[in-house]
Amino acid sequence: MPIIDNILNQDLSVRVRSNHALEHATLHVLQENGIKTQLGGISDVGGFWIYGEASTDIILTAAQEALTRLADGENELAVHPNCGTNIAVGSLVAGSLAWIGMLGTRGRLSRKLRRLPLAVLLGLIGYQIGRPLGPKLQKQVTTNANVKGLEIAEVIQYDALGRTVHRVSTRLAR
């Protein structure tokens, strides 16, 4: 679709999608390197944030390795099973089917209660249908594994309400 292609190819969109891919790849590398602590991340145009207990040096090293591996064509690192995209897609499909299951109840409690098992069943089916769509959407829309020209500018550790947070800033190579 030309409109979506146009949006996905805008400079800011490409930067966010590339940073999202690098965030995922960094999380994969951290996991491969034996980091067992629960980590999460969020990406934006200037880089990404990593939430969780890990040292700055470990995150920097993992991010550099992730960037190299993505640039060398390991595109599968851009897709992560715990990405919010997966949760959002599964939830959207589940909620939509559950909503369809409740159509026609017209506000009557007795009708809603009788229809509730159908809505729950449709929601469960919808979640199962939506699960494989999340990684596909990550690969095609929310990440961009082509990180050539991207470099890591710095990694800074912050304390946010007693929790460790790292900012991984990126920039385009000059």
> Measured between alpha carbons, how far is 17 from 144 in angstroms, rounded to an integer?
5
What CA–CA distances, in Å, run from 56 to 32, 112, 157, 162? 17, 52, 6, 16
Question: What CATH number should be reported for the domain whose range is 2-79+143-172?
Answer: 3.30.980.10
| pLDDT above 90: residue 152 | yes
Mean of the pLDDT values across residues 133-153?
Answer: 94
What is the reported pTM? 0.84
pLDDT at 7 over 80: no
Spans of all domains in the chain: 2-79+143-172, 84-134
pLDDT at residue 174 in the model: 74
- Condensed to tens digits (0 to 9), the pLDDT of residues 84-95 reads 999 999 999 999
